[in-house]
Amino acid sequence: MSLDPECLKAFVTVADCGSFTRAAQILNRTQAAVSQQIKKLELLLDARLFQRHSRAVSLSSHGHLLLGYAKRLLALQDEAIHAFREADTKCTVRLGTPDDYASSFMPTIINAFAHAHPNAEIEVRCDLSIDLLDSLNRHEIDLALITKQANNTTGEDVRVEPLVWVGAAGGMAYMRETLPLALFSSSDSKCMFRYGGLAILKETGRDYHIAYTSRNTSVVLAAVRADTAVAILARSSVPPDLTILDDQHGLPPLPEIRIALHRRTGERNRIIDDFGDHIVKTLSLD
């Protein structure tokens, strides 16, 4: 047996104004709907809650007994809702992710989450995956959506992404005898994209030279758009104005990567975990 909060709200409103008609106006319901909610309570409690008079109603002895409980229950419900909304208001979620993921995955994810939690602030930090993992371990961020490193078994695997070669639309950089590359970072041990691409080129004997390196995706893509180099991206991160290059362009297939969500250890606000769960669910369904 449970007391429906909507029925309790109708009961308290009728009790306060002494009229079903006035209560219906306040609640923006029909008088019949309000009467039905009161009847539902009376059946549940097996007690008459109101004495009907010609133009008004008054509480019965059972009604007086219920009124105090009803007001406390409704106040407790309002307090619980307020507490959760207050948690949203005070919470900043610090997310770390590479900037190519930030531009491809995150806009839709953040937009949907913001509708459910309008007062939560999402702070996004962009960096290389391995550096973001260090930031997470130092508690500088709460969540890290990153490329899973080969030697790392932690984190929640969210999705598997194929790596692809990317060139300018109608470009010819890929046709050069020595393949010009625009790559992330300055150390092949720090970037799975770079490590995977260079390993494949060495394995297949394709000559290459590194023309550009940057920690910033926009710099890498600028070199690609200028047709001075080709780059390696996750398939989902490829901008629509660029072309995916494959074996028909004389380039070998690239390995897949795993994208994982890592959560800061220790106590976390509920909104942080909600946002993490939202990321996992959204990307897993894509």
% the chain with pLDDT above 70:
94
**Confidence band, pLDDT 50/70/90 cuts, at residue 188:** very low
In tens, the pLDDT along 149-175 reads 777 778 999 999 999 999 999 999 999
Q: What is the pTM of this model?
A: 0.66
Distance CA 194, CA 172 (A): 21
DSSP, collapsed to helix, strand or coil, labels residue 221 as helix
Whether pLDDT at 186 is above 70: no
Closest CA to 155 of 96, 208, 108, 103: 96
Q: How far is CA 165 from CA 18, 65, 158, in A?
A: 74, 74, 22
pLDDT of residue 55: 79
Cβ–Cβ < 8 Å for 146, 132:
yes
199-232 burial, b if ≥16 CB within 10 A, otherwise e?
Answer: ebbeeeeeebeebbbbbebeebbebbbebebbbb
Using CA atoms, how far residue 227 sits from 44, 74, 106, 146, in Å, is 75, 65, 27, 28
Mean pLDDT of the chain: 90
Give the model's pLDDT for residue 252: 96
Question: Looking at residue 118, what is its pLDDT?
Answer: 81
Distances (CA, A) of 157 to 247, 265, 280: 29, 17, 8
pLDDT for the residue 226: 97
Confidence of residue 278 (pLDDT cuts 50, 70, 90): very high
H-state helical runs in 117-237: 129-137, 192-204, 217-225
* Ordered domains of the chain (ranges, CATH): 5-76 (1.10.10.10), 92-158+259-285 (3.40.190.10), 159-257 (3.40.190.10)
Encoded amino acid at 30, one letter: T
